[in-house]
């Protein structure tokens, strides 16, 4: 292998095309020792998520305060209403699932005593059920015991349409029964290959029956515990100022010995990604900052200070443009972007195709994201077996002009294309941060050359990603023509990730805009393929179905993928944090500690 090829492989690791383990395996195959292969990555200038984690503290507490920056501040702390990642992360400080996903995509027990398996009979061979054994002697923060009743209640709560949870799809098609005080069985209606959904990871956080029982159904938004959580996690609730601050204090009765290490935790919201990166990497004022959507050039400059660095974690997140298939400018029965309407311009496939041709992904990768974003034409980019080889992306202003011309969209004296008295003018919204505004500008300039006028709208992140049903500017309401953001893949399986294109998942006033289908794109063939994948036990056939679904949404331009985004965080040089691209950033908060 020559030097150029080696540099290419290292770059593949940096931007997420190749895993750390994959690189090391390649080097070992060439006769290089594992430690030397690891050193080569370290010298590449990027810290990567740890694949092995050793917890060193020998007692609970004593670590002082852990200071986190989530520049999109949490707005509520109920994990089943948390449509935004920031609210899911805030909830994860206090609430826990039965199991979480580590960085290699393996299940790790949290409130479960062990991971179910076919060998011990807890995982049915026919894919029809899974039995979870719970840890004993776990208590809620108020001292009440955690039991199987809490799991059964969480299922009842989340599946009730009147409760209007965003996790309803996880719990709506299963039955959960109590076997004994510390055992529950999840039963499926058909053979289910991806059984680790209910009670697992981001969508699996369990809430206490004794505090939420009176607020199931229509009264769900009135529960005091929505803002003052009582969980089983390593930290107890201390204070919450929506959009600003979440504070917790050590749980002295946490169910794992010698954990947690820190005496308190502070999750500060607001500001922007660049200032958050600076506060960790350059000044050392904070220990950790989430979601470094910062131009790579800035990150590299900050890293020279030595107090912290960027950590890149492989996952499946995608920065993309959502296309509205309904009319955001017409109100029907008190609802805009209603299913009773059709978008007057974007319903034309030629317009959607032209928009896709006008996204210069390579410029976005090269000049905005660098190591932290890879140009892609796929919605699903990881794990590799689910990645389609059938799609492609292309940037061509000439071709976009040809497509629009052929479809009858002709330029007027003002340079804007029109047809049947309708001009190609769109409002393009996203959240406020420099990479997104730069991406908007790149796209706007190309669109102008094709006769499309884009009005750029930027919304404060805490507003755009808010779970407040009264907020008109949320991405779920989609009161504009196109919008751009990152959707996170929080499981090493695309089932829940691809749920967001199902007809039954459309975000509407009726479901308080908790539905995952933001584009309002509907396709019976897609629904059928999804249902088939849910029950397909053959892993090769199942992967083929998800590839087919990816191709359907991308080739119909329901979404326009921009860049695949490995997770990027800023971390203090002394902080040891167990990371995963398949779960919340705080999935293993109990294991975080600071080196002396």
The reply to whether 67 falls in a domain is yes
Average pLDDT score, the chain: 91
70-122 confidence digits (pLDDT tens): 988 999 999 999 988 899 999 999 999 999 999 888 899 999 999 999 899 99
Instruction: State how far the Cα of 547 lies from the Cα of 365, in Å rounded to an integer.
Output: 24
Q: Are residues 593 and 558 in the same domain?
A: no
The reply to whether 453 falls in a domain is yes
Q: Are residues 336 and 273 in the same domain?
A: no
The reply to whether 177 falls in a domain is yes
How sure is the predictor about 30, in pLDDT bands with cuts at 50, 70 and 90? low
Residue 491 tokens read as 């499981």
Q: Are residues 205 and 247 in the same domain?
A: no
What is the domain range of residue 582?
A: 59-94+233-315+567-596
**372-375 long-range Cβ contacts below 8 angstroms, 24+ apart:** 372/15, 372/292, 372/296, 372/299, 372/310, 372/312, 372/565, 372/566, 372/568, 373/15, 373/319, 373/562, 373/563, 373/564, 373/565, 374/15, 374/16, 374/17, 374/563, 374/564, 374/565, 375/562, 375/563, 375/564
Instruction: State how far the Cα of 280 lies from the Cα of 530, in Å rounded to an integer.
Output: 42
391-408 confidence digits (pLDDT tens): 999 999 999 999 999 999
For the segment 436-457, the average pLDDT, to the nearest whole number, is 98
The size of the chain, in residues, is: 596
Q: Are residues 339 and 472 in the same domain?
A: yes
Instruction: State how far the Cα of 452 lies from the Cα of 417, in Å rounded to an integer.
Output: 6
CATH number at residue 237: 3.40.190.10
242-272 confidence digits (pLDDT tens): 999 999 999 999 999 999 999 999 999 988 8
The reply to whether 588 falls in a domain is yes
For the segment 160-177, the average pLDDT, to the nearest whole number, is 94
Residue 483: count other Cβ atoms within 10 Å of its Cβ.
24
Residue 502 tokens read as 């199902």
The reply to whether 374 falls in a domain is yes
Which of 1 and 298 is assigned the larger pLDDT? 298
Domain boundary among 202, 222, 242: 222
494-510 confidence digits (pLDDT tens): 998 999 999 999 999 99
43-65 confidence digits (pLDDT tens): 444 444 444 678 999 999 999 99
The reply to whether 542 falls in a domain is no
509-538 confidence digits (pLDDT tens): 999 998 999 999 999 999 999 999 998 988
Question: Is 519 within 8 Å of 559 (Cβ atoms)?
Answer: yes
pLDDT over 60 (residue 20): no
Q: Are residues 486 and 353 in the same domain?
A: yes
Residue 76 tokens read as 């509520």
pLDDT over 50 (residue 478): yes
Question: Is 228 within 8 Å of 141 (Cβ atoms)?
Answer: no
Q: Are residues 330 and 406 in the same domain?
A: yes
Q: Are residues 484 and 559 in the same domain?
A: yes
Any idea which residue has 């109920």 for tokens?
A: 78
The reply to whether 324 falls in a domain is yes
Q: Are residues 253 and 366 in the same domain?
A: no
How sure is the predictor about 36, in pLDDT bands with cuts at 50, 70 and 90? very low
pLDDT over 60 (residue 354): yes
Chain center to CA of 448: 32
Instruction: State how far the Cα of 307 lies from the Cα of 287, in Å rounded to an integer.
Output: 10
Structural domain count, the chain: 4
Contacts of 477 (CB under 8 A, 6+ apart): 336, 337, 471, 507, 513
137 φψ region: left (φ > 0), alpha (ψ -120 to 50), beta (else): left
Kind of pairing between the strands at 417-419 and 422-423: antiparallel
Least confident piece of the model among 400-409, 439-448, 483-492 = 483-492
Q: What is the pLDDT of residue 149?
A: 98
% of the chain surpassing 90 pLDDT: 78
Any idea which residue has 């200070």 for tokens?
A: 305
Q: Are residues 307 and 323 in the same domain?
A: no
Q: What is the pLDDT of residue 89?
A: 96
Any idea which residue has 């691809």 for tokens?
A: 498
**DSSP code string of 482-510:** EEEEEE---SSSSHHHHGGG-GGGB--TT
The reply to whether 496 falls in a domain is no
How sure is the predictor about 306, in pLDDT bands with cuts at 50, 70 and 90? confident
Q: Whose CA is closest to 530, among 515, 547, 518?
A: 547
Q: Are residues 341 and 467 in the same domain?
A: yes
For the segment 431-451, the average pLDDT, to the nearest whole number, is 96
244 φψ region: left (φ > 0), alpha (ψ -120 to 50), beta (else): alpha
Calculate the CA dihedral of residues 57, 60, 62, 64 and round it to 10 degrees: 100
Q: Are residues 322 and 442 in the same domain?
A: yes
Residue 499 tokens read as 């749920």
Q: Are residues 249 and 182 in the same domain?
A: no
């Amino acid at each position: 292998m020559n030097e150029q090829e080696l540099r290419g492989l290292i770059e593949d690791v940096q931007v997420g095309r190749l895993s750390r383990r994959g690189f090391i395996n390649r080097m070992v195959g060439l006769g290089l020792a594992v430690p030397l292969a690891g050193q080569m990555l370290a010298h590449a200038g990027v810290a990567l998520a740890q694949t092995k984690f050793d917890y060193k503290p020998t007692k609970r507490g004593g670590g002082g305060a852990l200071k986190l920056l989530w520049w999109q501040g949490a707005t509520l702390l109920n994990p089943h209403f948390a449509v935004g990642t920031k609210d899911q992360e805030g909830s994860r400080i206090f609430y826990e699932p039965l199991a979480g996903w580590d960085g290699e995509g393996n299940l790790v027990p949290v409130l479960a005593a062990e991971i179910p398996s076919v060998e011990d009979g807890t995982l049915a061979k026919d894919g029809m059920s899974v039995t979870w054994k719970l840890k004993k002697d776990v208590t809620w923060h108020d001292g009440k015991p955690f039991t199987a009743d809490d799991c059964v209640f969480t299922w009842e709560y989340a599946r009730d349409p009147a409760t209007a949870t965003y996790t309803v799809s996880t719990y709506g098609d299963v039955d959960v029964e109590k076997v004994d005080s510390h055992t529950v069985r999840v039963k499926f209606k058909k053979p289910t290959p991806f059984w680790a959904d209910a009670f697992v990871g981001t969508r699996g956080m369990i809430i206490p029956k004794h505090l939420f029982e009176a607020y199931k159904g229509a009264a769900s938004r009135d529960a005091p515990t929505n803002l003052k959580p009582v969980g089983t996690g390593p930290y107890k609730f201390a204070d919450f100022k929506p959009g600003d601050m979440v504070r917790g204090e050590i749980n002295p009765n946490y169910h794992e010995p010698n954990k947690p290490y820190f005496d308190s935790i502070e999750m500060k919201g607001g500001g922007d990604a660049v200032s958050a990166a600076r506060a960790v990497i350059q000044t050392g004022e904070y220990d950790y900052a989430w979601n470094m959507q910062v131009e790579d050039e800035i990150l590299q400059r900050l890293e020279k200070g030595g107090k912290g660095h960027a950590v890149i974690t492989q996952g499946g997140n995608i920065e993309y443009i959502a296309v509205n298939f309904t009319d955001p400018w017409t109100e029907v029965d008190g609802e805009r972007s209603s299913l009773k309407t059709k978008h007057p311009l974007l319903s034309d496939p030629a317009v959607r195709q032209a928009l896709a041709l006008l996204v210069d992904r390579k410029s976005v990768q090269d000049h905005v994201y660098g190591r932290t974003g890879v140009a892609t034409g796929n919605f699903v980019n990881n794990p590799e077996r689910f990645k389609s080889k059938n799609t492609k992306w292309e940037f061509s202003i000439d071709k976009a002009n040809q497509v629009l011309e052929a479809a009858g969209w002709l330029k007027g004296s003002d340079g804007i294309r029109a047809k049947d008295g309708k001009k190609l003018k769109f409002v393009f919204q996203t959240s406020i941060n420099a990479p997104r505004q730069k991406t908007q500008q790149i796209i706007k300039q190309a669109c102008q050359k094709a006769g499309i006028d884009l009005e750029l709208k930027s919304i404060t992140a805490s507003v755009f990603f808010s779970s407040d049903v009264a907020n008109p500017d949320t991405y779920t309401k989609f009161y504009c023509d196109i919008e751009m953001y990152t959707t996170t893949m929080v499981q090493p399986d695309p089932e829940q990730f691809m749920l967001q294109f199902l007809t039954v998942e459309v975000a509407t006033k009726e479901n308080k805009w908790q539905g995952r289908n933001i584009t309002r794109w509907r396709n019976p063939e897609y629904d059928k393929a999804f249902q088939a994948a849910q029950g397909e036990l053959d892993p090769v056939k199942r992967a083929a179905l998800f590839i087919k679904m990816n191709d359907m949404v991308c080739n119909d331009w329901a979404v326009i993928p921009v860049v695949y985004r490995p997770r990027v965080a800023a971390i203090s040089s002394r902080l040891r944090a167990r990371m995963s691209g398949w779960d919340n950033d705080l999935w293993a908060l109990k294991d975080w500690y600071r080196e002396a």
